[in-house]
């Protein structure tokens, strides 16, 4: 049986799992790959942390694997953007295949890498959805479809926090603290709770589905930091589930990309996905809706996706990184953020006295925004109440202009909170 050598950059949680699974399931993987897969050498920052834990060579010099002609695949699992991009470029320039789980690097450099690679394979299944095979499913399994929409719960930290707030009536800070204690959230959770992790993954999926070359700063990104129990009460009252979603929607010759907390009707399957699990709903013009569900993070789940790429490369399959060489949608453009449309939920802290709702309704009406539902809750601030209302579908720019005016009224306190509703 022929042999294939790999060099790994990074032996953290995922890298260690890759090494263990390649050893424990060696016979199974060899049978599926058609060759024996060896880890020839791994690269780490600190040798002391991995001393005596592995039975292959380990170094701190990445050039030792990039310049080694006997190594066929470079597997990058270190994280970051600039340094991994340099490693990827040199690996491809040295005629090596490249596998990565690095969604941040791909969010900025995926098209550059595809151009550099030519016919060399690049695997990135582990960059979105952990162990869920969404990349191959979208790129290959749904290759005959125009993709009409993608709705993704693709950050387990946020999904855990929102589930905790819903099921146990905890506030955001308490739910975040528990997520950190359980290892679901980092000590600095900004990347997750402010939506950037979800945005990186959404951009990768949108590239495969639409060929859109957008960067994180080009799209709307909102996290869950401002979510309160009042928002959860509204969701329960009007039969919604609240989720942080990455959304891609095709509208004519435009694609709308946004990351946002979203109210979903309770009967929608994706809205029922709780805890740290991930789920991605993909709507194709022929296959209709497909739901990809499973463990969206964790060493073993992510390593499973990494090894699936290694097996695919070992089978000598070569295809464009994003699944196409020529444009798949002619004249398709990114829709400007301010022109996106949806229904909206508003949480407004206002004085508890006659005429307040009339003033707020008047401003909304002047911006062609109609109120659909209204719930008033007593505030813990004396002489104030909280208005929870939903609107009919309107344009993003109009609701933001209306909110800005409402926030400046003498009868209101603090900036109103806005959450989108997807029916």
Contacts of 357 (CB under 8 A, 6+ apart): 374, 387
- Partner residues linked to 83 by β-bridges: none
- Active site members: 201
Cα atoms in the 13 Å half-sphere on the side-chain side of 72: 16
- Partner residues linked to 242 by β-bridges: 263
Could you give the angle at the alpha carbon of 127 between the alpha carbons of 244 and 321, nearest 5°?
125
Which is nearest to 100 in space by CA: 292, 320, 321, 326? 321
Tell me how far apart the alpha carbons of residues 288 and 395 are, in angstroms, rounded to a whole number. Answer: 27
8 close to 14: Cβ distance less than 8 angstroms: no
Contacts of 83 (CB under 8 A, 6+ apart): none
Q: What is the dihedral of CA 129, 124, 337, 154, to 10 degrees?
A: 10
Tell me how far apart the alpha carbons of residues 325 and 338 are, in angstroms, rounded to a whole number. Answer: 31
Tell me how far apart the alpha carbons of residues 155 and 197 are, in angstroms, rounded to a whole number. Answer: 7
């Amino acid at each position: 049986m022929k042999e294939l050598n790999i060099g790994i950059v990074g032996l953290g949680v995922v890298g260690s799992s890759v090494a263990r699974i390649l050893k424990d399931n060696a016979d199974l993987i060899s049978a599926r790959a058609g060759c024996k897969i060896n880890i020839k050498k791994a690269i780490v920052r600190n040798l002391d942390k991995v001393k005596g834990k592995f039975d292959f060579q380990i170094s701190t010099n990445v050039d030792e694997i990039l310049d080694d002609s006997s190594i066929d695949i470079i597997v990058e699992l270190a994280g970051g953007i600039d340094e991994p991009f340099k490693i990827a470029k040199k690996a491809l320039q040295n005629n090596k295949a490249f596998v990565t789980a690095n969604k941040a690097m791909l969010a900025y450099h995926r098209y550059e890498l595809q151009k550099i690679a030519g016919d060399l394979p690049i695997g990135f299944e582990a960059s979105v959805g952990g162990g869920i095979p969404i990349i191959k499913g979208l790129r290959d399994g749904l290759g005959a479809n125009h993709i009409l929409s993608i709705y993704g719960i693709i950050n387990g930290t946020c999904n855990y926090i929102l589930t905790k707030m819903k099921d146990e009536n905890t506030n955001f800070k308490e739910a975040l603290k528990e997520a950190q204690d359980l290892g679901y959230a980092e000590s600095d959770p900004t990347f997750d709770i402010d939506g950037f992790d979800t945005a990186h993954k959404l951009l990768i999926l949108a590239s495969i589905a639409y060929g859109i070359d957008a960067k994180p700063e080009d799209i709307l990104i909102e996290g869950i930091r401002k979510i309160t129990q009042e928002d959860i009460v509204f969701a329960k009252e009007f039969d919604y589930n609240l989720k942080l979603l990455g959304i891609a929607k095709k509208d004519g010759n435009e694609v709308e990309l946004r990351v946002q907390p979203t109210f979903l009707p309770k009967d929608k399957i994706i809205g029922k996905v709780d805890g740290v699990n991930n789920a991605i709903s993909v709507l194709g013009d022929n296959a209709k809706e497909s739901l990809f569900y499973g463990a969206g993070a964790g060493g073993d789940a992510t390593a499973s996706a990494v090894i699936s790429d290694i097996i695919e490369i070992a089978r000598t399959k070569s295809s464009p990184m994003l699944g196409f060489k020529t444009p798949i949608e002619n004249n398709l453009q990114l829709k400007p953020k301010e022109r996106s449309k949806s229904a909206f939920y508003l949480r407004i802290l206002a004085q508890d006295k006659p005429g307040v709702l009339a003033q707020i309704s008047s401003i909304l009406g002047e911006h062609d925004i109609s109120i659909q539902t209204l719930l008033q809750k007593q505030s813990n601030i004396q002489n104030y109440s909280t208005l929870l209302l939903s609107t009919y579908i309107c344009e993003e720019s109009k609701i933001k202009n209306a909110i800005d005016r409402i926030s400046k009224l003498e009868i209101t306190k603090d900036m109103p909170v806005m959450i989108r509703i997807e029916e």
